[in-house]
Chain A
Amino acid sequence: MSEVVVSFREVSKSFKGMEMPALDAVSGEIRTGRITGLVGPDGAGKTTLLRLIAGLLEKDSGEIATLGHDPGKEAAEIRERVGYMPQKFGLYEDLSVLENLTLHADLRNVIGQERRETFDRLLEFTDLKRFADRFAGKLSGGMKQKLGLACALLGRPKLLLLDEPGVGVDPISRKELWGMVEDLVSQGIAVVWSTAYLDEAELCGTTLVLNEGKLLFSGTPREMTAPLEGQCYQLKNLSSGKRSLLTKALARPEVSDGSIQGHHLRLTFRKGEKLFSPDVIGAGETAEWAAVRPRFEDAFIDLLGGGPSGESVLAKHVRAIPSDDEVVIEAQNLTKKFGDFAATDSVSFQVKRGEIYGLLGPNGAGKSTTFKMMCGLLLPTSGKASVVGLDLRKSAGKARQKLGYMAQKFSLYGGITVQQNLDFFSGVYGLTGQRQREKTGEMADIFHLQPFLKSKTDSLSLGYKQRLALACSVMHEPDLLFLDEPTSGVDPVTRREFWTHINGLVERGVTVMVTTHFMDEAEYCDRIGLVFRGKLIANGTPDELKAMVATAENPDPSMEDAFIELVTGKENA
């Protein structure tokens, strides 16, 4: 009963000034009756493919048929029947909810009685009726997303293209939107949902997995993970340090990939390999294996040829900092107000030396604001922030020499070469002469930047840009490392590599504070603070937080379940 709405064969597309094609001979189809997930890291070609399907770009070669028309040549034929929501929702922020809807209704010829009915239906559906007169710019991420969807739904499209609707939205709103989209699918609309979140991909009816312009896989998430069935295990009840155990486990020839999951290790075994005894890596007598279902991320990493080695070369090059169990990062009733809006509202926490502390929360929750106050980049309205015993209000300069900071957005100089960036940042932190040359050379080796040293930084792929940014923040061997969403948008293998380095540094005694909106990434942290609407709503180890919300029906909740539960619990209280 499902019907093919879009089909494309051997589609390629290149852009001027880019070495790699954005899309390289990609084939597939999109059907009604299910959500098609378009999955891949930033720069994989997701947006390009959506734009080709919508007739916003013209392909270089191959064939595309959207609703039976070539979108390149007969774009006018399909526009009335294709709903398209661009990234960042494409809303006019200085128009109200109703004005945005009216504009799109006029553009799509939805008038008179039909308009009244459609508006009623959509405002009901999106629960935006209460906010009809509010400016779109004043809506929360979740509400913007719903309005964007409502605008795309005007004119009753047959095909709905959603470009990363999950970005910048809290998990609760995301769940709501997902429900709404499933509702649409049951009405016979074909939906494409593009995403870089692999946990989102897992929920889709079917997926097209892209990486660097190539189609890696197409099929259901079950089919994606099927080859790894029976190869994924958790190693529980570890007696010694999880990070060093992970390094040892990854060094085993049987293991292709692994990560930390709360107090446990999660490992993927190569095909045909058997489990080894936990004793072999010194996991202790109580340690035991538990089979787990492979996840989309495991399969993606498998498709990319397995995870990186568990040993951080970076960590070998930094001095060891003796552990002393001292509190090195401390926030006391930290508050930051912008006007009468409290971006961070009375937040307190402590981080001990050699810990990874994660701030977890959706965009706009106040993670970055808190973060910037902790490294002395923002002055708190009230409260106290201190690192290594230094009050950031009084001795921010002295404190900064002790910490490395990697900003959320790419904050290196794009117009100069990789080598020049390394030289500049090492110089800023006071490295000179022989030592500077040694250090920048080391970084280039560790992060595989040698081939690009003379390239303009702008021309690097996102993964390499992030590597360079990390290199620039650790060259002066700081005691503390502040990482603001370091892995946002990168492919899962690069993400693993990042965490290998972070784990390695922590093993050497570095203290790491990290923000992330990837719920699963929180599992790497020793302790997590959940941030929502400026407040720290929960604080503890990943397992503690999950245990807080465990119920009879859901004995083993995910981090996302925990988040949703804790937030809704807060709201109802």
Chain B
Amino acid sequence: MTGLSLRRLKALCWKETLQIFRDPSSNLIAFVLPVLMLFIFGFGINLDSAKLRIGVWKEDSGPAAEAFVAALTASPWLEVDSFESRSATEKALIDSQIRGFVVISEDFSRKMESHSAIAPVQVIADGSEPNIAQFVSANVNGVWQIWQAQRAEDRGEEAQREISLEPRYWFNSSAESRNFLIPGSITVIMTVIGAMLTSLVVAREWERGTMEALLASPVTRAELLLSKVLPYYVLGMISLLLCVATAKWVLGVPFRGSVLALCVVGTFFLLSVLGIGLAISTATRNQFNAAQAALNAAFLPAMMLSGFIYEISSMPPLLRAITHLIPARYFVSSMQTLFQAGTIWRILWPDILLLMASSALFIGLTAKLTKRRME
């Protein structure tokens, strides 16, 4: 069915807008949830390693051992506790009071003195949390190397100094994970507004019988579809700009792209998720089912498979292939470009084109599913 009456479309959009502002649950999803999520991702989730608590069990009391422990204690990345026995140290690790511990054996100082012998240091970490275990081992290792280099220097043996690494992080110079997480979390927020909210509203119309009343009126299919897309598109864009503004001025995340580019990328991503949400609710006609489906089809993939938290390049090939089907993936990469690098159209274009294709796909699917009848 074709035909479009501006009066009818305007009336439907106005009704939708009134409902968004009056319904407490829509309000919650549209306005409260985004801010809440932004702050959770901004402050709550942090992939950077903070100070790690470790233990030291010293069997040797020679000067070298004392000096090494002092070096560990002085490290800004470590907080060092000492215990009265080895078993107490082990117990502390088992009880998760410490993340790992260093054992300095009784012949440590003696071996350090003699140039020929190797002085071993044992590092034990909690392997059940591999990420942290690696941090423990790397940090202790780093302290060890600096300490040795310094000892050599003190003795005037400059030549022994190893290659020193001075990393510089481009685009995110302080390597703060927040700068990387915020663009990704905006993706999740847009998904919630686009897919969850819209999937609920159409299903609600079916449940409350208002859809039946609409279908019995002269409304056309195009009007019905547009009246759901337009208000939520506007709502989503406002939310997007609000999120970016909050990220930049409240959370202090640098935004280096242009607003125009943001709007272009945002538009096509929003249309994709709106399409998913509408297709789901048109097919389920039931709020509970729609929420379940939207959670699985839009929200979880946006969380897990978009590259927002888990790096796509380190996924197994099958999962990596699946990520190509998820619109959020392209939006995450565009957002990270816009936030951290700037408006680089050469990089943005492929993502934009793919988002355009997915919007066309999902909106088209909804149009196909939207029937002018109740069947």
Contact = CB atoms under 8 A, between A and B. Distances in A.
Interface string A214-242: 00000000000000000000000000000
Chain A, interface size category, equals 20 to 34
Given A75-B372, A76-B218, A108-B218, A103 B15 contact: yes
B209 A106 contact: no
Contact of A102 (B5, B11, B213, B372): B11
Nearest to B21: A94
A383 interface: no
Interface string A82-108: 101111111111110001001110111
A90 B212 contact: yes
Given A99-B18, A103-B15, A56 B218 contact: no
Interface string B214-258: 111111000000000000000000000000000000000000000
Nearest to B26: A94
Contact of B217 (A57, A58, A79): A79
Interface string B183-227: 000000000000000000000000011101111111100000000
Chain B, interface size category, equals 20 to 34
B168 interface: no
Interface string B89-130: 000000000000000000000000000000000000000000
B368 interface: no
A88 B11 contact: no
B162 interface: no
Given A76-B1, A84-B213, A56 B373 contact: yes
B8 interface: yes
A111 interface: yes
Contacts of B373: 55-58, 75
A86 B218 contact: no
Nearest to A56: B374
B interface secondary structure, majority: helix
Given A57-B375, A92-B210, A106 B7 contact: yes
Interface string B256-293: 00000000000000000000000000000000000000
Q: In this complex, which of A79, A85, A91, A92 has the most chain B Cβ atoms within 10 angstroms of its Cβ? A: A92
Contacts of A91: 210, 213
B53 to A, nearest CB: 50
B209 A86 contact: yes
A99 B19 CA distance: 11
B324 interface: no
Contacts of A187: none
Nearest to A47: B212
Interface string B1-42: 100010110111011001100110000000000000000000
Contacts of A89: 209
B216 A109 contact: no
Given A57-B374, A94-B19, A94-B23, A107 B209 contact: no
A151 interface: yes
Nearest to B205: A92
A107 B218 contact: yes
A139 to B, nearest CB: 14
B217 A93 contact: no
A95 B15 contact: yes
Contact of A56 (B8, B18, B19, B216): B216
Given A55-B373, A57-B375, A76-B218, A95 B213 contact: no
Interface string B341-375: 00000000000000000000000000000001111
Given A76-B1, A89-B209, A109-B7, A95 B19 contact: yes
A23 to B, nearest CB: 14
B6 to A, nearest CB: 10
B240 to A, nearest CB: 25
A51 interface: yes
Nearest to B3: A76
Q: In this complex, which of A56, A93, A95, A111 has the most chain B Cβ atoms within 10 angstroms of its Cβ? A: A56
Contact of A79 (B23, B209, B212, B218): B218
A95 B19 CA distance: 7
A107 B8 contact: yes
A51 B211 CA distance: 13
A111 B7 contact: yes
Contacts of B12: 103, 107
B209 A88 contact: yes
Nearest to B218: A79
Given A76-B1, A108-B217, A92 B15 contact: yes
B18 A94 contact: yes
Nearest to A94: B22
B255 to A, nearest CB: 36
Nearest to A85: B213
A92 B374 CA distance: 19
Nearest to B213: A90
Interface string A49-69: 001001111100000000000
A58 B375 contact: yes
A95 B7 CA distance: 18
A444 to B, nearest CB: 32
Nearest to B216: A84
Contacts of B7: 106, 109, 111
B81 to A, nearest CB: 53
A93 B218 contact: no
Contacts of A76: 1, 218
Contacts of B218: 76, 79-80, 107-109
A107 B210 contact: no
A429 to B, nearest CB: 30
A104 B219 CA distance: 10
Nearest to A92: B210
A107 B219 contact: yes
A151 B15 contact: no
A104 B217 contact: yes
Contacts of A56: 212, 215-216, 373-374
Interface string A151-189: 100000000000000000000000000000000000000
B17 to A, nearest CB: 11
A456 B80 CA distance: 64
A84 B14 CA distance: 22
B10 to A, nearest CB: 7
B282 to A, nearest CB: 16
Given A54-B216, A107-B218, A93 B208 contact: yes
Nearest to B11: A106
A549 to B, nearest CB: 36
A88 B8 CA distance: 23
Contacts of B217: 79, 104, 107-108
Nearest to B211: A90
A55 B373 CA distance: 7
Nearest to A89: B209
A19 to B, nearest CB: 18
A106 B212 contact: no
Q: In this complex, which of A99, A103, A107 has the most chain B Cβ atoms within 10 angstroms of its Cβ? A: A107
A58 B371 CA distance: 12
Contacts of A106: 7-8, 10-11
Nearest to A51: B374
A179 B119 CA distance: 103
A327 B218 CA distance: 60
B34 to A, nearest CB: 22
A108 to B, nearest CB: 6
Contacts of A85: 213
A76 B222 CA distance: 14
Q: Would you list the 7 A-B pairs with minimal beta carbon distance, nearest first? A: A90-B213, A106-B11, A84-B216, A86-B212, A94-B22, A79-B218, A107-B217
27 contacts: A54-B216, A56-B212, A56-B215, A56-B373, A56-B374, A57-B374, A57-B375, A58-B375, A76-B218, A79-B218, A82-B216, A86-B209, A86-B216, A87-B209, A88-B208, A90-B213, A91-B210, A92-B15, A92-B210, A94-B19, A99-B18, A102-B11, A103-B11, A106-B7, A106-B10, A107-B8, A109-B218
Given A57-B374, A106-B7, 8 more contacts: A56-B215, A56-B216, A58-B375, A84-B212, A94-B18, A99-B15, A107-B8, A111-B7
